[in-house]
Chain A
Amino acid sequence: MSEISQDKSFSTPEKRSKTLIPYAMLCELTHRCPLACPYCSNPVQLELKSNEISTDLWKKALSDAVKIGILQAHFSGGEPTARKDLEELVSHASKIGLYTNLITSGVLINEDRLKKLYDAGLDHVQVSIQDTDPENSEKIAGFKGHQKKITTCGLIRKVGLPLTINSVMHRQNLHNLKDMINLAVQLDAERLEVAQVQYYGWALKNQTAFLPTRKQLDDATIIVEEARKKYKGILAIDYVVPDYYAKKPKSCMGGWGRQFLNITPAGKVLPCHAAESLDFLNFENLKEKSLAWIWEHSESFNRFRGTDWMPEPCRSCDRREIDWGGCRCQAFALTGNADAADPTCEFSPYRKVLDEPLSKAGNKTPEFVYRKF
């Protein structure tokens, strides 16, 4: 048995020479969202409701996804429950054999709708919680909804849906990690995902407000290890040391265009949810091209696929088919060169663009810059 996953990304056990078979798709149904997280990973330029694609086009995309081998559909946003056809899409996806996951902030949903989603065949729900301390939680989310989230989690379990708590942990909430773990157990979640802020898009504007200190991370690692032992078989905890303090980058989504694709509210198909930050690339739209064609032939999916595009130091590195050169979006955002090795890599000549903010991580924490839609 091989488990092909490490946290967010899947890693391929054997290299496939012919057409790659993707595993998962992220369906960003809408960019509309009542929250305003300062680390939001959506593009800085959001799609308007009037540009959102139709129910029928979403259904077609899901059906085409199954044909090219996709196993899982993650419904996300923005806030996916802001779309009224969510139940219909989940039901369609489930009928054609996709594993369905709802990624939500939990503030717009009630018991009745959760029941409908359950009946539609929803397999799993992931709720984001910004912090255990309500005040800080609401400060981070830029929205008063902490209690509502907790209530929603209870309702999710009540209707019988499995629950993952996703918490982006950073400088301003890592001290509550233990409480977060306890909260997840209390809420009867199966999993807790301790996510890290990725620095591109909006988050880059708040970099120094989020960067944890080395000490915070060392403490966090110990807490996670202990909790994993204590709650073995009860709560699974996903946690990875963030890029910034690692010496080698992580593989991005299992490699560009290898296992994953992302569909935006307007129907663009991207190799990763942040790919539009690579503003020199042209991304195809489902209104014009089929999903299979885009996956296999589009310029954007092939641009960083495999290893041919790599310059040194990646080209001759023996990790090139392990991390695939790391994150393209982060490389571009931090170095201005999308072909560069991920700057988190110790072999990257740009490593200093990270070490510099890190050296300031002990200083005073600046205020957040919030996004407004």
Chain B
Amino acid sequence: MNKLTKLELSHIPKLPRHAKLRFDEARKKWIINAPERVFELDEIAAEVMQLVNGNISINSIVDSLHNKFKEASREQISKDVIIMLQSLADKGFIVSE
């Protein structure tokens, strides 16, 4: 496992063992459980995080999202995904294979 300081499109992101994604029934939301923290994901973040599995690159994540949400430009999606994942990586909640 590598800690990441700056994300690039070719990186294959995953959650470190101490962060766990799951759907919470009580709140009807996707959440990430982490030490002393809970991230409640909005719809877009939830879409992104469900693709973060340590198998596919950020590039492929962007492709998949672009396929699903045709209204947004690929460029815009790519930017949003990087910003979102980078904010988690800065706190150590995104690492790479």
Binding site for B on A (CB under 8 A): 1-5, 7-8, 10, 13, 21, 23-24, 68-69, 71-72, 97, 99, 101, 123-124, 126, 160-162, 164, 190-191, 193, 232-236, 238
Contacts and interface: CB of A to CB of B under 8 A. Distances in A.
A190 B35 contact: yes
A191 B42 contact: no
Is the contact region of chain A dominated by helix, strand, or loop, or is it mixed? loop
Contacts, number: 82
Contacts of A13: 40
A190 B18 contact: yes
Nearest to B7: A233
Interface string B15-31: 01110101010110001
B9 interface: no
B25 to A, nearest CB: 8
Contacts of B35: 101, 124, 126, 162, 164, 190-191
Contact of B36 (A8, A232, A233): A8
Contact of A1 (B16, B34, B39, B89): B39
Contacts of A8: 36
B37 interface: yes
Given A1-B84, A99-B33, A123-B18, A233 B38 contact: no
A7 B5 CA distance: 22
Nearest to A101: B35
B51 interface: no
B77 interface: no
A73 to B, nearest CB: 10
Which residue among B16, B22, B37 has the maximum number of chain A CB atoms within 10 Å of its CB? B37
B19 to A, nearest CB: 9
Contact of B22 (A23, A97, A126): A97
